[in-house]
Amino acid sequence: MERLIGPSVERFGEDPDPQQVRAAAQAGDEMAMTTLGMMLLGKERDRSRPCGG
């Protein structure tokens, strides 16, 4: 996982702008596609956590 996160952070920063990443992914940028996927998975994981837990 570190091999995916490291280049993503170098490229887009710790808190990437979703619109910038999405635009780059739509233009065919593979790192942006990977970053966008990780962002979406992170949001899904946050939603699946129980409240107050």
Tell whether the model's pLDDT for residue 28 goes beyond 70: yes
Q: Residue 38 falls within a domain, yes or no?
A: yes
Q: Residue 53 falls within a domain, yes or no?
A: no
What is the average per-residue pLDDT within 9-26? Answer: 94
Residue 51 three-state SS: coil
Question: Which has more confidence, 34 or 49?
Answer: 34
For 14, the token pair is 């710790």
Tell whether the model's pLDDT for residue 42 goes beyond 90: no
- Look at residue 20 in the predicted model and tell me its pLDDT: 96
Residue 5 three-state SS: helix
- Look at residue 47 in the predicted model and tell me its pLDDT: 79
Q: Residue 33 falls within a domain, yes or no?
A: yes
> What is the total count of domains within the chain?
1
Residue 27 belongs to what domain range?
A: 2-48
Question: Which has more confidence, 13 or 43?
Answer: 13
Q: What share of the chain is helix, strand, coil (3-state, %, to 5)?
A: 75, 0, 25
Q: What is the DSSP letter of 50?
A: P
Q: Residue 6 falls within a domain, yes or no?
A: yes
* Residue for token pair 């993503």: 8
